Structure 1
């Protein structure tokens, strides 16, 4: 329970810093009026929406990691062997994120062909990642590590499935960016769409690296749990 509260406190601090940077703590009635032309351009609604979604998704990730860490301390915890395919899938997701970063850079230069190549390569790599996750689930099931066999097995399927759903959502956004590209949308709108997709893809990569580290190396995190809970014992 203490570990969960520490995680939630960390998220609250991060959210507070983010809100402060957005200027939500300012008091406009105490500030002198400034010329309209000198004010900063407003943040697009789509970008603000993505920030809010990533904040919420990060909170969900923290709760998931906290629940996993707490449940791992119980006597009936029997972690299954992790499929080696997860390492390959991790590499594929890294490639996908790099491809989206390439597309973002190309959009900044106005290179439409490179943007298209980056989107296609990034989307294809993401699909390969999802197929690899399905193969990992099948490998686990064939080895007898079913969802209901052990709490550790259940967490494995829940964690990987939750991340896969977020990747599917990213593919929908990526398809929309491709639609704007095919329709010959203005470069400004295309840049925003590609930028949002790339930001979300980097979030997916970071989230997966955290979750994969938890699944692969969780027993070695016991020292961190001991340090965090020592002052409360």
Structure 2
């Protein structure tokens, strides 16, 4: 766990530098005239972006702790990863598609391309549903094979990691639905477009975290570790 201290310090430094760049030290309430009006106009979107970044930093720390526990526990002799359900490959592709579709929809909304925005928002929603249902299918597949969380520590970590990511995904999906509905009717709204951009950032975060978790639960990191040890020794 000694390595987690520098990692958390790195996260805190990045968050502080970003908040400073965003003007956290400024005092817009003492400004007057056009400057104050400008701050009021950008207040909502700026606060939303800051809140999202803080939330992502906390979520990143949470997943880092779970991954650290994963690496420590895998050194024990009773560790045995469950077979990777094939549906996880489809789920990964679905999440990549949904993340890309949401980014394209956001870019189209900024350019005022209403039809393109709507089409890719629908594509993002469908791909997201495929991912969510696929994760449930993977859980059912492991349970049907008798690979429950109580059978092996590696099984428990599979359900823990995918479950934690799934909860973050469901929360993001609910927020995306809340943003998508009004956006489909008022794409030209600057606030709606900004909220769509925040959803895109969160979706990219979910994708990166899932790719890392997928490498863990599929045993890819074990193979990398073996290769590194052979190269070093």
Superposition TM-score tier, normalisation by shorter sequence = 0.7 to 0.9
Equivalent residues in 2 for 1:1-233, closer than 5 Å: 1-24=1-24, 42=42, 44=45, 45-184=47-186, 187-216=189-218, 217-222=220-225
CA deviation string 1:11-56 (max 9, x = no partner): 23333332343344x588xxxx999657985552222221111111
Quick one: structure 1 residues 6 and 220, their matched pair in 2 at CA, closer, same or farther if it must change by over 3 Å?
Answer: farther
CA deviation string 1:137-176 (max 9, x = no partner): 1111122211111111001001111111111111111111
Distance 2:117 2:55 in 1: 25
Runs of 4+ in 1 over 4 A off after TM superposition: 33-43, 223-226
Structure 1: runs of 5+ lacking an equivalent? 227-233
Quick one: structure 1 residues 185 and 81, their matched pair in 2 at CA, closer, same or farther if it must change by over 3 Å?
Answer: closer
| TM-score, with structure 2 as normaliser | 0.83
Whether the 8 Å CA contact 2:15–2:54 is kept in 1: the answer is: no
1:220 CA displacement: 3.2
Structure 2: runs of 5+ lacking an equivalent? none
Distance 1:219 1:14 in 2: 29
C-alpha RMSD over aligned residues: 2.7
| Equivalences, count | 221
